[in-house]
Structure 1
Amino acid sequence: MHTFTPTKIPAVMQKFSLLLLLALIVLACGGGEDAAGEAPMAKKSTKEPAAKEINVKKIWKVRCIACHGLYGDMGTNGAANLQESTRDLDYRINIIANGSENGVMTAFGDILTEEEIKAMAEYTMTFKKE
């Protein structure tokens, strides 16, 4: 009488398992057919793409609000009160890009694009008290 040993899987079962795994991978990737409701690929335009609109409020909420607050006047961790600041745009661009000399302000030059940095500096100017 032959006894089955669970540690050895017959070669046929190994091949079947491999085929089943490959089939599942193909199905998971969509099998190359368009899913229902999925738009076909658009033709490439020869026109230059429009400049990406910068969402300064989103960047502010993600990067700046923790220290400067919603209205730029919170001053957590020694952050400047932007409502009272008299610094010009160029100074603000430099601080956002390179951080402050004393290390209080984080440098965002490697995180944000030049356009985003300028837009953020301009946005901080809107906090000034009139």
Structure 2
Amino acid sequence: MQKFFVLLILALIALACGGGEDAPSEAPAKKEAAAQEIDVKKIWKIRCIACHGLYGDMGTNGAANLQEVTSSLEDRIKIITNGSENGVMTAFGEILSEEEIEAMAKYTMSFNEDL
């Protein structure tokens, strides 16, 4: 029974980090996001927290420690849109709207404001 739960947790982490396909029902939400206020914390909890953690420093599955990353807003937007060059992070360009991606990139910059 314990092995089942460990496998279940690992599968959930893999899916949360982008291992799963986007459900067709999410496509309309992407188009409507531009008209709505973007809730970056909600997106973070759904899409990012499993690998980056609550404060951006967890590093599960090789995720970057966002408290130490000093890349520009433009670079962060590219990584969120296209995924990381090393293939660790999945691309969100077809999952999130451009506005959501920009908002998320700005949000990730808040993790290292004290540096």
- Which bracket does the TM-score occupy, shorter chain normalised? 0.5 to 0.7
Deviation at 1:122, TM superposition (A): 0.3
Paired residue for 1:88? Answer: 72
Q: 2:36 aligns with which of 43, 48, 52?
A: 52
**Structure 1 runs not aligned, ≥5 long:** 1-49
1:121 aligns with 2:105: yes
**Cα RMSD for the two superposed structures:** 1.2
Which runs of 4 or more aligned residues in structure 1 lie more than 6 Å from their structure 2 counterparts after TM superposition?
none
Paired residue for 1:75? Answer: 59
Q: Is the 8 Å Cα contact of residues 68 and 76 (structure 1) preserved in structure 2?
A: yes
Mapped partners of 1:88, 1:129: distance in 2? 13
1 or 2 for the larger relative contact order (CA 8 Å, sep ≥6)?
2
Task: Work out the number of aligned pairs and report it.
Answer: 81
Amino acid at match of 1:61: K
Amino acid at match of 1:114: E
Structure whose alpha-carbon radius of gyration is higher: 1
Amino acid at match of 2:51: C
The one-character-per-residue Cα deviations of 1:66-115 (angstroms, maximum 9, x if unpaired) are 00000000011110000011111000000000001111011000000000
Q: Is the 8 Å Cα contact of residues 84 and 129 (structure 1) preserved in structure 2?
A: no
The one-character-per-residue Cα deviations of 1:14-67 (angstroms, maximum 9, x if unpaired) are xxxxxxxxxxxxxxxxxxxxxxxxxxxxxxxxxxxx931000000000000000
Deviation at 1:129, TM superposition (A): 4.8
